[in-house]
Amino acid sequence: MSQILLIHSSVHGYTQKICEYLQRQLIEQDQLVTVAPLAEAPDLALFDKVYIGASIRHGKHRPALYQFIEDHRAELDNKPSGFFSVSLVARKPNKNTPQTNSYMQQFLSQSPWQPKLLQVFGGNLDYQGYGAMDRNIIRFIMWLTKGPTDPNTKVEFTDWQKVDEFAQQIIEA
């Protein structure tokens, strides 16, 4: 049994939802799991394993993510750890792996931490849950990338079986 920390950097709460789903899967496998937002992460030394999930905001992971990594790099490097990125781009079959997802590749090029366990999950598209500016920006991006643009669209692009597989990889780490 491991003490596992799942940290999320989430704007609209969807990355948190994935962390909470992972928590339930891991608890079913007799793991002790804590979920926390990046800004409120407990002392990493209290955990055997640490995993971070981060969403994309306006084409980037948030700066606080990189600062957290910089501040805690030694701890992240010295225990089983990993990273997953959540984006609407990952809805596409040719952009839904760590190797093919440009946001993951951008993260790896900018981060001093190079976790061994990586994953990419499709995000949630909920136009009514966004403010006017975000709604218009995302609709434009969806139009450019041939995604749904109907302002009433609400769809999860997450492959939950892939999330289950990630949970198993966490257990095996």
pLDDT of 133-144, one tens digit each? 989 999 998 999
Rounded percentage of the chain residues whose pLDDT exceeds 90: 92
pTM of the model: 0.94
* DSSP per-residue string spanning the chain: --EEEEEEE-SSSHHHHHHHHHHHHHHHTT-EEEEEEGGG---GGG-SEEEEEEE-BTTB--HHHHHHHHHHHHHHHTS-EEEEEEESGGGSGGG-STTT-HHHHHHHHH-S---SEEEEEE-EEEGGGS-HHHHHHHHHHHHHTT----TT-EEE---HHHHHHHHHHHHH-
User: Which pLDDT score, from 0 to 100, does residue 1 have?
Assistant: 82
User: Which pLDDT score, from 0 to 100, does residue 59 have?
Assistant: 87
User: Which pLDDT score, from 0 to 100, does residue 58 have?
Assistant: 82
Q: Given a cut of 90, is residue 145 above it in pLDDT?
A: no
pLDDT of 55-68, one tens digit each? 998 889 999 999 99
pLDDT of 105-129, one tens digit each? 999 999 999 999 999 999 999 999 9
Distance CA 141, CA 64 (A): 24
pLDDT of 35-85, one tens digit each? 999 999 999 999 999 999 999 988 899 999 999 999 999 999 999 999 999
